[in-house]
Structure 1
């Protein structure tokens, strides 16, 4: 079972990344069927191929650096396109601590036992609330409960961090990450495309904790974020007249209430 573990860094050293430390502690780099791709998206050079190899003490590492802060959608597509002989990719941000004994064996077992499932997701919590998987239609909301294992929902969505994808599924369906989106709504758009072919997903026995709330943002920052999110929704639903109309109504409501 050949797997890629993609870690995207921004202004952080490999040795300080919770994700890189977790992968190393789980000996992911020591299994020959695995490859860790560390993509440094920082404007300044703070890491290198040599540093990556020394940190992981392995040659199963590929390091890339793009100082222009390349969009995440382009990074994801690049790694997928250039690793056609792999079976799975797990996309990770820099601050995901993987706490799971025998993580590599666990993933292999799950993938093999669920050969007809294409999307595998961790549970992601913020302020003790489950944010991913979630539901989304124009606006997102939370699952009240969700079980480990196979689930199905025509409205499910997910945060990209920790997302595992069966690459043969992408090759057959020609699904790609939308490069018209650079940050916000990339994950929403991707799952929206996936659901057109398969509304099933597998919830892994793996939990991540992230700060996803807006409580630390200023009012100006909140308005800016909502504006960018609306622009993302307009891109996602540009070919769906009904949803496009609903996004327009939602946008007008936010404008009227002073939220963007």
Structure 2
């Protein structure tokens, strides 16, 4: 198999994490020789309040043949970050997205490379991400909510009514250029992956699930203080409205009832009426 130059555009978003302590960056460093052979470019977009130490950036620049670091202390929305990343690098084959807290080996990239050569018409390749014994990504979409997979599925999967976590996605840049166009910049934190998957099924019949399980930290949702939990929940509510408002009337209505029920439930569980408000502060 001949790998053309500029195959992988690897995008990593950091937030309040030291460059060389992020598990995703550590995973990439371990396989840097292979990534350079694949003609990869590493783009690190840092949304942290403070810029990383220059020596750490220089260290990564010395390792990776193609490296770019961008600091946006204003905490740019993820959708804008993703759009900026890929639109400035249209000459690559696949846009691979990672959060800062993922762990993987070179096997992930080898499998994307192999399967993309075999399945040339497929525009999305996904790893398996588990939470406990259940598969959190990919997942089924039931109207406006996700349903975990109980059993492992690999290979070609029907794209209709499916969801997936953004971290670990390998997306064809040709698809982004010609059909998807751009990530929804009205979404700040949540809903970006749902919006992507809902639109993906409009243009594609299938995506490909790799026979590869990627480690991705989902535990932080269970160990948050009340203020962080509130911020995430209110952002999540806004994202649901944004994602489904231009879909069918039925989904729009269902999304509103889902938000109402979730808000009441969270308000009772946390004994805080703020979970019922419509918009987050700031």
The TM-score with structure 1 as length reference comes to: 0.90
Change (3 A) 1:223 1:57: closer
Tell me the residue number matched to 1:194.
200
Distance 1:191 1:175, change over 3 A: farther
1:5 counterpart (10, 35, 57): 10
**Tell me, which stretches of 5 or more residues in structure 2 are unaligned?**
269-274, 276-282
1:68 offset after TM fit, Å?
Answer: 0.8
Cα contact 1:121–1:164 (8 A) shared by 2: yes
Structure 1: gaps (5+ residues) = none
Give the counterpart of 2:96 among 63, 66, 90: 90
Q: Which residue is equivalent to 1:249? A: 257
Judging by fraction of residues, say which structure has more helix.
2
Q: Using a 3 Å threshold, how does the CA distance of structure 1 residues 224 and 47 change in structure 2: closer, same or farther?
A: same
Alpha-carbon contact 2:156-2:207 (below 8 Å) kept: yes
The match for 1:235 among 239, 242, 261 is: 242
Q: Which moved more, 1:230-239 or 1:158-167?
A: 230-239
SS at match of 1:130: strand
Give the length in aligned residue pairs: 258
Please tell me whether the aligned partners of residues 6 and 36 of structure 1 are also in contact (alpha carbons under 8 angstroms). Answer: yes
| Cα drift, residue 209 of structure 1 | 2.8
Q: Return the alpha-carbon distance in structure 1 between the equivalents of residues 109 and 222 of structure 2.
A: 36
**CA RMSD, 1 decimal:** 2.1
In 1, the alpha carbon distance for the partners of 2:159 and 2:73 equals 39
Q: 162-171 or 103-112: which moved more?
A: 103-112
Per the TM alignment, residue 256 of structure 1 is displaced from its structure 2 partner at its CA by 4.3
Question: Residues 16 and 223 of structure 1: is their aligned pair in 2 closer, same or farther, counting only changes over 3 Å?
Answer: closer
